[in-house]
Amino acid sequence: MKKLISIFYDIRKDEWRSVLLMFVIHFILMVILYFLKPARDSLFLTSNGPEDLPYVYILLAVISIPVTHLLTGFMRRYPIRSVLIWTLGGLAVNILFIRWLFQYDMEWIFMTFYIWVGIFGILVISLFWILANAVFKPAQSKRVFPFLTLGAILGAIAGSEASSLIVSLIDLSTENLLYICVGLLILAMRLLFFIPKISTPESKLDANKKSTRISSPLKAAQKIVASRYQLTVAGIIGLTMMTTTFTDYQFKALAFDAYPETAGLTAFIGTFYAGVSLASLGIQVLLSSQIIKKMGLSGAILSRPVSMMIGAILMAVEPVLASIVILNGFDGATRYSIDKTGRELLFLPISQHTKEQTKIFIDIFVDRFSRGLGGVVLLGFIVVLNWSVYLLTYVVITLLIIWILLGIRAKKGYVNKFRSSIQKQLIGTDSMALNLNESTIYSIIKESLHSTSDSQVLHTLFLLKDSNVEKIAEDLRQLLDHQNSEIKLQALIMLQGVESLNLTGEIITLLQDEDPEIRLETIYYLCKHSHEDPTSIIKSYLAHNDYKLKSAALGCASKHRGSATDLVEPEFFDQLLDKKEKDAVVIRAQIADALGYIENDTIAHKYLSKLLNDEHPSVVRKAISSIGRQKSDRFIPLLIEKLKNPEFKIEIRKTLASYGTDYLILYKNRFFDRTLDKNIRKSIPGIFSHLPEQSTADQLFDMIDIQNTDLRYHVIKALNKLIRERPSLEMDIKKVRQTIKSEALHYFELLSIKQLQPPNRPNRPNRILLKALDEKMGQNVERLFRLLGLIYDPKDMYGTYLALQSLSTDKRSAAIEFLDNVLTEADRKYVFPIGDHQNERIKLTRGRQLFDIPEKRYDEGLHQLIEGEDLWLQVCAIYSVSPQCPDTLQAKVKKAVYSPNELIRETAELVMKRNAR
């Protein structure tokens, strides 16, 4: 049985028990409903006639209000499973009471029964689907819900056919069908005890101890109105019920004309429902999964109104009983098949807590209220306007058009809801200028500047960076004596722009401060606020006996004046560089910075080449920055070679990028140079990311074809940065999709090798290889989502990637559902098998189907890794070779002893010694 089901539905190993239980329960509930519906329709129509139908629709709406109120209260206090069990028990008692009333044969009894069955149908099905939403996660729902819907369809077929056969062939009255329903309700209640508890009621009870009032329909309505998405869903359900109110009336009025006797009408309606259910079965088994797979949610929620539109047009052209049967046939065939699946999928983006508060309201109150509203409108047309059954078809067509438009809107809202839940993981910050003229802001800033917490003071100074600080100049003045040198420096820098306050007498004392940056900014303050010429001030300090002040003056001239060529002689640099004092590093850093403004290319090259290899990082960074200002081609080989050191790669890449796009071909050629150090090659794409131009993107797409996945990662990363900086850049979508396919293939090849590893070999070398394979497959997934970010919204893809890495099953499920609705089929077929959290053997099976990956032996898998381009996998594969491995692998280890790569060579030597023991 499982194998047969698995042909059509993707039910996984750990899901079978809960899925089959829910399937059987749904089947039983629908059998009961389709026992009751023919009995209800025939008893009511023969007793009251179709002219009373609009009044019944209105009464249904009125009665649904207290039912919704009562049930919502229970949902707040008790687990959904318990609520469903108690509801079924109460309904069983109701049925026995109604059967007892039938003996009096009064019209109001049959009207009450009609209303009761209407409430029963929507009540038990709504509670069942709330339970299903709680039992299954969103990622499971897309797979499982169609199978549960199949249970409903089979139940409808069984119930319809059984009711028709029992009445026609067995000597059992329509009224006595109710006893069978009671027995089936008891069976469903018993099965529900085997469903595991979803949540405990304690938290709900604790929350309600604060208030004795239960949630009201008004509160549920407020929640729905406050959510545009939920309002759209409610609108779809409301329009659905209004439309079917008209078609239901048309069908029953014409059916009563054709079959005025109770038994004949029961048999006809039962046969009709059975036929519709068989059509539902065909749609569910043959079309439903394909429609959802190809068209997603849109196909699920629009199939019903579109197919009904065909029937309505036929009814308008040929107004006969057969036409309305076809119209209602389309309605019924899709109602409990693809449309039901689609409607339940609409609730997936809504949290379980919110669903418990609003879904009952929508499924019962909105459903019945809309049916009642439809009844009022229907009365207006048939009583006031005296429209015939056939003319009502034009109202149906109008309602269907609005329904279709709302369905399109719901699809957009559905995707946005998942997008919102995913992007909550992304946090962004923006800087802002503070308006100190606002009294509240002024008082808060003033208080924060005098805080005892250094971090709070620094944060406040950061916020003031782009603000006019004239009003707090006195507060900044007090910070010049602060013990924290960073606070003192930032206060000094801000005071440089305050013209209303001259603090030259106080600030000159900071020339003796231990912090060289404070000394530099002090000279700059003196230049700005002194009556003397700034150039003469700088020259005076350059001639000073104190080399700390000389270097500070040089740094000031470089940083603020823009050029120091005319202020110093070449020998001046040698004098400063020869100093071995405490502040020698600071002096060298200030010289390195000043050299960026030297117009003499020979001097600049001489000293910057030397300082580029200084032992202190701060000096090297200043030298790199100065090279960026000089832009001499003579420095390019030095900078590329320096990329070996990861400590300076950010600064070097920015500097190389500052040379402009004309140099990108040179950098690209170096990227493909296999003789170049790999760390240098990995850093080169980062140069491109600082030049957001179309020509840059085109060059990177030339580089994305590289086979080495580590190098390819950095190309993709550079493209991500470009598209983030300039979203208008044109991406080579064809090449992106080719690369996605290549990455997916690489993932499955690694997975196939991982599956070859013997499970009974938990030794350390084997564990290291397995871990390495997991890491590399994880990197594959990251590259896939970075590539998707070049086609789709980058934030969406980044948020989805983070959600898939999350430990939260809810986040992972939301991410899968989001991807299912956003990706095209071309991208989905490669990404989904990888992103879906399922058994790796199942993943590999799907990978083999996609790429025709051949079966390998264990030794062939290790051969592939050892011969591959990934250095770490080579090393781990060699390390995992044991004495029991085939001779071909032992030969590979012996050959690796002579590898030019030191890590491979040392690993091979270690394995040779270990295996010789």
Q: What is the pLDDT of residues 289-325, one digit of tens each?
A: 667 667 777 778 888 899 899 989 988 888 777 788 8
Q: Which residue has the higher pLDDT, 460 or 396?
A: 396
- Average pLDDT on 849-864 reads 88
> How many whole angstroms separate alpha carbon 819 and alpha carbon 833?
12
Q: List Cβ neighbours of 452 (8 Å cut-off, separation of 6 or more).
A: none
Residue 793 φ then ψ, to 5°: -60, 120
Which of 239-253, 583-597, 774-788, 836-850 shows the lowest mean pLDDT across its residues?
A: 583-597
What whole-number percentage of the chain has pLDDT above 90?
23
User: What's the pLDDT score for residue 784?
Assistant: 94
Q: List Cβ neighbours of 438 (8 Å cut-off, separation of 6 or more).
A: none
User: What's the pLDDT score for residue 419?
Assistant: 64
> How many whole angstroms separate alpha carbon 504 and alpha carbon 524?
11
> How many whole angstroms separate alpha carbon 216 and alpha carbon 212?
12
Give the highest mean pLDDT range of 205-219, 460-474, 636-650, 798-812.
636-650
User: What's the pLDDT score for residue 581?
Assistant: 66
Instruction: Give per-residue pLDDT as tens, 195-226.
Output: 876 544 333 434 443 333 334 567 777 888 88
CA dist 462 → 277, 445, 449, 510, 762 (Å): 69, 11, 11, 22, 54
- Average pLDDT on 789-804 reads 87
User: Any idea what DSSP says for residue 144?
Assistant: H
136 touches 149 (CB < 8 A): no
> Does the structure show a pLDDT above 80 at 43?
no
323 touches 315 (CB < 8 A): yes
User: Any idea what DSSP says for residue 362?
Assistant: I
422 touches 796 (CB < 8 A): yes
237 touches 362 (CB < 8 A): yes
Q: Which residue has the higher pLDDT, 259 or 870?
A: 870
> Does the structure show a pLDDT above 50 at 347?
yes
- Average pLDDT on 429-439 reads 55
- Identify the sign of the CA torsion 803, 807, 812, 814: negative
Instruction: Give per-residue pLDDT as tens, 868-883.
Output: 888 899 999 999 888 8
> How many whole angstroms separate alpha carbon 94 and alpha carbon 230?
33
Phi-psi region of 286 (alpha: psi -120 to 50; beta: other; left: phi over 0): alpha
Hey, how many other C-beta atoms are within 10 angstroms of the C-beta on 152?
Answer: 28
What whole-number percentage of the chain has pLDDT above 70?
86
DSSP state string for 71-83: HHHHHHHS-HHHH
Written as six digits, the tokens of 72 are 């919502």
Nearest by Cα to 444 from 454, 457, 455, 431: 457
> Does the structure show a pLDDT above 70 at 570?
no
Q: Which residue has the higher pLDDT, 241 or 811?
A: 241
User: What's the pLDDT score for residue 641?
Assistant: 93
> How many whole angstroms separate alpha carbon 84 and alpha carbon 77?
13
User: What's the pLDDT score for residue 205?
Assistant: 38
Element of type H or E holding 572:
helix 570-577
> Does the structure show a pLDDT above 60 at 572?
yes
Please report which confidence band the pLDDT of residue 351 belongs to, taking 50, 70 and 90 as the band edges: low
User: What's the pLDDT score for residue 40?
Assistant: 78
Residue with tokens 């030259």: 504
User: What's the pLDDT score for residue 666?
Assistant: 94
Written as six digits, the tokens of 196 are 């595991």
580 touches 614 (CB < 8 A): no
Instruction: Give per-residue pLDDT as tens, 516-561.
Output: 788 888 998 998 888 888 888 888 888 887 877 877 887 787 666 5
User: What's the pLDDT score for residue 186?
Assistant: 93
Which of 255-259, 276-280, 380-384, 483-487 shows the lowest mean pLDDT across its residues?
A: 276-280
What SS3 class is residue 351? coil
- Identify the sign of the CA torsion 243, 244, 248, 249: negative
Residue positions counted in the chain: 917
Hey, how many other C-beta atoms are within 10 angstroms of the C-beta on 389?
Answer: 19
CA angle centred on 401, ends 396 and 402, rounded to 5°: 100
User: What's the pLDDT score for residue 412?
Assistant: 83
Rg of the chain on CA atoms, in Å? 38
Half-sphere exposure of 335 (CA within 13 A, CB side): 20
Q: List Cβ neighbours of 532 (8 Å cut-off, separation of 6 or more).
A: none
